[in-house]
């Protein structure tokens, strides 16, 4: 396991806590120089310091093209550019359909879907300019398959990421760049524990083939595989990681 990403630069968005932080920790353990990106500057800096292994933090709002451009300029200056992109940053709402208005819809789509596009645009341009056989790994959600209530805009955005990943793989395969998506189930992350979603673990457990609460490390393990050369012949795919809650 250790060292298989040595010499690579990995950018993980939304990495100040939860799934993103676990992914950043795992990729650093695999040898990558990890860029911890988050809109939470203090949290990103603390996460990078805790991870060590040369990890560093950059504060960025992924829905802001200028902030994203500045982030990639900084990465280029420090490491020569990104090899691995993990699109993890997102807003996870709990809003009933009758309370979904246009402002809410636009906010979720702007961050969760358009933000993924903005960062991926910059990352893949940087990869191609350096002739790198890069990896794009986007965190979607099994809510796309389950049609989970109180998350209409979120489900739409995550479904968009799955479609975007398929198209991206077709466009970028000629450059040796792969694009895959990963759909976690309910994960006992910091954000979930502080939200109404924390009450759903009992119900989700009844639906899972493997019992228990999903942990951020369960997702990080699969991202590690997708980022490595072991997954070099795999692109345009969606890996469902939810203990068999959704079987398709």
Written in H, E and C, the secondary structure of 116-163 is HHHHHHHHHHHHHHCCCCCEEEEECCCHHHHCCCCCHHHHHHHHHHHH
Catalytic annotation present for 248: no
CB 75 within 8 A of CB 54: no
Burial of 210 (0-12, 13-18, 19+ CB in 10 A): exposed
Among residues 154, 180, 181, 201, which one is catalytic?
154
- For residue 188, report the phi and psi dihedrals to the nearest 5 degrees: -80, 70
Is residue 83 a contact partner of residue 137, using CB atoms and an 8 Å limit?
no
Other Cβ atoms less than 10 A from the Cβ of 209: the count is: 9
- Residues with Cβ < 8 Å from 58, sequence gap 6 or more? 35, 36, 37, 44, 71, 74, 75
Provide the annotated active-site residues.
154
């Amino acid at each position: 396991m250790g060292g298989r990403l040595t010499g690579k630069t990995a950018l993980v968005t939304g990495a100040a806590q939860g799934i993103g932080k676990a992914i950043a920790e795992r990729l650093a353990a695999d040898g990558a120089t990890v860029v911890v990106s988050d809109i939470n500057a203090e949290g990103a800096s603390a996460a990078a310091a805790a991870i060590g292994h040369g990890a560093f933090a950059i504060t960025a709002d992924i829905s802001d093209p200028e902030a994203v451009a500045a982030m990639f300029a900084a990465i280029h200056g420090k490491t020569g550019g990104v090899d691995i992109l993990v699109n993890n940053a997102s807003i996870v709402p709990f809003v009933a359909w009758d309370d979904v208005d246009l402002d809410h819809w636009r906010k979720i789509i702007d961050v969760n879907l358009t933000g993924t596009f903005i960062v991926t645009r910059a990352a893949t341009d940087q990869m191609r300019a350096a002739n790198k056989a890069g990896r794009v790994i986007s965190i979607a959600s099994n809510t796309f398959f389950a049609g989970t209530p109180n998350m209409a805009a979120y489900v739409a955005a995550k479904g968009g990421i799955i479609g975007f990943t398929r198209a991206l793989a077709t466009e970028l395969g000629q450059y040796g760049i792969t694009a895959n998506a990963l759909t976690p189930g309910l994960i006992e992350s910091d954000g979930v524990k502080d939200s109404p979603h924390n009450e759903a673990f009992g119900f989700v457990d009844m639906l899972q083939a493997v019992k228990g609460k999903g942990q951020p490390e369960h997702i990080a393990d699969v991202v590690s595989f997708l980022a490595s050369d072991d997954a070099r012949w795999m692109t345009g795919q969606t890996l469902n990681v939810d203990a068999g809650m959704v079987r398709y």
